[in-house]
Amino acid sequence: MQDFPIFDSRHAHHARLADLRSDTVTRPTEAMYACMREAPVGDDGLDGDPTVHALETAVAAMLGKDAGLYVPTCTMANLLAVLAHTQRHEQVLLESSAHMFTTERGGSLLAGLAYTPIEGKAGAMDLDRLEAAVRPGSHRIRVGLIAMETSHNNAGGAVLPLAHMQGAHQIARGAGVSVHIDGARLMNAAAALNLPAATLAQHAESVSLCLSKGLSAPVGAVLAASDAAIARARAYRKMLGGTQRQAGIMAAAGLEALRTMSKRLADDHAKARVLSTRLNALGAPLPFAAGEPQTNIVQVHVGGTGMSSHQWVKALAELGVLTRPWGEKTIRCVTHRHIDDADISHTVDAFAQVLEKQGQA
Ligand SMILES: *Cc1c(COP(=O)(O)O)cnc(C)c1O
């Protein structure tokens, strides 16, 4: 249940509103507000902000990298990683449904790079294809970077197996190419594998981490990498207008998020599993199935129900359950700190009602 007032009048009449659109809807905790109020701040564009510095240092240490760079969004962290590792007119290889490809590809135009999609399964690039694509050839554009994503948004929150990350890193090393991890939800992946985040991060030269998704900070992301890569990224951050002044106020919430929110992500994963199990147990009269989540994302396949994903999203919203269409035949539900057990029941009930009505139609 959301613990803040809903100002959107379209939904104001619902006694209960479960907002499963994304974990980005999470609000700062009271402790975050307290940290923000008390944070020592400076000018991060002049001589530095002590709280930003503390956050960058904490994330770098947690991920086993030399240095960190605080940025407004994970999109910027990923773009800065690309710019830091490549030269103009090189290729970036990435899984074909990776967020950096499907949603952030515009950045390649600014950077003068070719983003080349590599087919994969459950968010993991096919390593044979990767190996073939990274091989230099006289007719080829040089590969400057390989990017992986874990947990993988479009693959329903799938977590890359450690052996896959190691395999991709080995291929990259063999070709003298760096690896970047889009770790917008890296802490979810680490929680699912029950491993320290650094164990995942060791298979890349740079990692981005989003603080404003399940970790509940209001804004911000951190890029972690070598001192040299961060120095380059810092210069590009300035060019892109990503240098913020008393950013310590927001970084303070990020620090508190790291301290307290990472360890509760397993709760979100458990709720996602319950949601999936209960949806599949509805005994729907129509072809309808929820994916089995590894983390906090449940993809519900509604293609056989005679209603499009958009129609489903609308019907569920009318019952006080907010979701998002994920293509024409799938809707996405994301669990997070504001979704409790009663919200899961409320959501299952809403799905049951829509199915029942549709089954009679
Ligand atoms: C959300 C997301 C991003 C972008 O994060 P923003 O902070 O919204 O820019 C990047 N990669 C993945 C996998 C994401 O889910």
Lowest mean pLDDT across 10-14, 237-241, 309-313? 10-14
Whether 34 is covered by a domain: the verdict is: no
- Residue 1 belongs to a domain: no
Tell me what the mean pLDDT of segment 159-188 comes to: 98
Is residue 177 domain-shared with residue 238, that is, in the same domain? Answer: yes
Judged against a pLDDT cut of 60, whether residue 146 lies above it is answered with yes
State whether 191 and 269 are in the same domain.
Answer: no
Residues 234 and 131 in one domain: yes
145 Cα: distance to centroid of ligand 1 (angstroms): 19
Query: Are 147 and 73 in a shared domain?
Result: yes
Single out the residue in 208, 241, 260 at which a domain terminates.
260
Flag whether 98 is in a domain.
Answer: yes
Q: How far does the centroid of ligand 1 lie from the alpha carbon of residue 139, in Å?
A: 34
Pick the atom of ligand 1 nearest to 98's CA.
Answer: 13
Among 74, 185, 200, the mutation site with the greatest number of ligand 1 atoms within 8 A of its Cβ is 74
Residue 197 lies in a domain: yes
User: To which residue do tokens 């911000």 refer?
Assistant: 220
Each residue of 236-257: pLDDT tens digit? 999 999 999 999 999 999 999 9
Supply the pLDDT for residue 7. 46
CATH of the domain at 309: 3.90.1150.10
Pair (125, 203) in one structural domain: yes
Counting other chains too, the contacts that 125-132 makes at CB distance below 8 Å and 24 or more residues apart are: 125/93, 125/94, 125/95, 125/168, 127/164, 127/167, 127/168, 127/171, 130/93, 130/168, 130/171, 131/171
- Ligand 1: which residues within 6 Å by Cβ? 73-75, 99, 149, 153, 182, 184, 210, 212, 221
pLDDT value at position 8?
53
List the residue whose alpha carbon is closest to atom 5 of ligand 1. 74
Indicate whether 3 pLDDT > 60. Answer: no
Domain span at 210: 39-260
Among candidate residues 79, 73, 51, the one with its CA nearest the CA of residue 245? 51
Residue 2 lies in a domain: no
Residue 230, Cα to own-chain centre: how many angstroms?
A: 21
Whether residues 168 and 223 share a domain: the answer is yes
Domain boundary among 219, 243, 260: 260
pTM beyond 0.85, yes or no: yes
For residues 16 and 114, state if they share a domain: no
Let me know whether 207 and 302 are in one domain. Answer: no
Q: Could you report the per-residue pLDDT of 77-131, keeping only the tens digit for each?
A: 999 999 999 999 999 999 999 999 999 999 999 999 999 999 999 999 999 999 9
Quote the CA–CA distance of 234 and 45 in Å, as a whole number. Answer: 10
pLDDT surpassing 50 at residue 5 = no
What length does the chain have?
361
Lowest mean pLDDT among 163-167, 276-280, 282-286, 292-296: 282-286
Write down which residue in 260, 280, 315 finishes a domain.
Answer: 260
Q: Do 243 and 282 belong together in one domain?
A: no
90 and 15 housed in the same domain: no
Q: Report pLDDT digits (tens) over 52-76.
A: 999 999 999 999 999 999 999 999 9
Alpha carbons 123 and 115: distance in angstroms, whole number:
16
Please report whether residue 49 resides in a domain: yes
**Total number of domains constituting the chain:** 2
- How much is the pLDDT for 124? 98
Model pLDDT, residue 136: 79
Where residue 193 sits, what CATH number does that domain have?
3.40.640.10
Residues 99 and 21 placed together within one structural domain of the fold: no
Is residue 22 included in any domain, yes or no? yes
* Tokens encoding 81: 């990683």
Q: Residue 202 falls within a domain, yes or no?
A: yes
Same domain, 93 and 195: yes
pLDDT at res. 330: 97
